[in-house]
Structure 1
């Protein structure tokens, strides 16, 4: 049996209370990158760190995970909050 990597869509809550959605295959490594300032441009400013991972969803394909990320990024703030309430993750 082939051991395929999992693909994840995740949401961070930044120190300034904003949300950041992203894609990764290694959630703990990615969170460390964001909090060290070497992650995405959005999380580099010290005012956005530390960030906390508040949502994590796993997918079988990169395509499915990045589609979920894209869809989340199209939502308004209140829609994002509703999405996060509806899809509370036990994986974090």
Structure 2
């Protein structure tokens, strides 16, 4: 088994990682022996995890979630799976029309 996980850091940011041993990896993060990113943002709290068949699948999911916005990550934590597709769509309604700038 392998896991993809998300930590909430002390500064309010999220860290997403993957591992074969979730309990041990969480312990490493909590004592400052995890990733450099979390080492400077202690304490950390596990807010989400997902189990996978193998490390490759867990790593693939890690990279996917790392590219998500904060809002989409929060929806994942809340298990709002129905809302995830809508959050993936970009909202261009607030962008100005470029032709307005060329006047």
Question: Fold match, TM over 0.5?
Answer: yes
Relative contact order (C-alpha < 8 Å, sep 6+): which is higher? Answer: 1
Partner of 1:17: 12
C-alpha displacement at 1:63, in angstroms?
1.1
Q: What is the CA-CA distance between 1:34 and the residue it aligns to?
A: 0.7
The TM-score with structure 2 as length reference comes to 0.73
Residue 84 of structure 1 deviates from its aligned partner by 1.7
| Match in the other structure for 1:3 | none
The CA deviation at 1:71 is 0.5
Q: Which runs of 5+ in 1 are unaligned?
A: 1-5
- Residue 58 of structure 1 aligns to a residue in which SS? strand
Question: Greater Rg, structure 1 or structure 2?
Answer: 2
When normalised by structure 1's length, the TM-score is 0.81
2:33 aligned residue (23, 35, 38): 38
Choose which of 32, 46, 52 in structure 2 pairs with 1:53.
46
The 1-side partners of 2:68 and 2:46 are apart by 18
Aligned length: 81
Which portions of structure 1, spanning 4 or more consecutive aligned residues, are displaced by more than 4 angstroms?
none
Which of 58, 68, 75 pairs up with 1:82?
A: 75
Measure the CA separation in 2 of the matches of 1:84 and 1:60: 21
